[in-house]
Amino acid sequence: MSRALVSLPLLLILTSGCTLPVWTAGEVPFVPTPPEVVDRMLEVAEVKMGDVIYDLGSGDGRIIIRAAKKYGVRGVGIEIDPDLVKRSRDNAWKEKVEHLVEFREQDALMVDVSPATVVTLYMLPEFNKKLRPIFWQQLRPGSRVVSHDFSIEGWPPLRVEKVKGDLFHDHTIYLWKIEGEPSSYR
């Protein structure tokens, strides 16, 4: 009887489509963003030809790869875990977008994001808070920042959208836009 009680919740979690974190060599767990959330993040950011997308904490590269495939844009994935960087490069090659994307093994807090017109995130709140002054200093007016599930403290989003998830979790997408000159954000 007790074995059945333990097995039932585990079965529900495994069959519900729930995205569980995978602990890697990086500082935060890798939690894959579901495909429908990836697509909605790119739509909310209004990605268009000519954009350059940076994904900070890019995991397996799915956001950058999807943007390259769907919109033909260039992208850079920043990931601290070398195994995930390798997986991202392999995934880009399999999807035939390796000529549009690059993946760097780098700390997201140390990257120069100034070439980006769109930045995507799925980072924990304390990392997002540390990234805010970097965005304000480096991103040009009109650049968009889109975060999955976590806001950026001290920076009210322009838009917040819910995406239906699984039994345990609905997703939230936040959008910010850089307005004016970077010095106006200090």
Residue 130 near residue 109, CB atoms below 8 Å: yes
Phi, psi of 75 (to 5 degrees): -150, 155
Sign of CA dihedral 69, 74, 71, 83: positive
pLDDT reported for residue 27: 60
148 membership: H or E segment, kind and range: strand 144-148
| pTM for this entry | 0.83
More confident residue, 9 or 110: 110
> How far is residue 36's CA from residue 11's CA, in Å, rounded to a whole number?
23
AA letter at 142: G
Domains identified in the chain and CATH numbers? 21-185 (3.40.50.150)
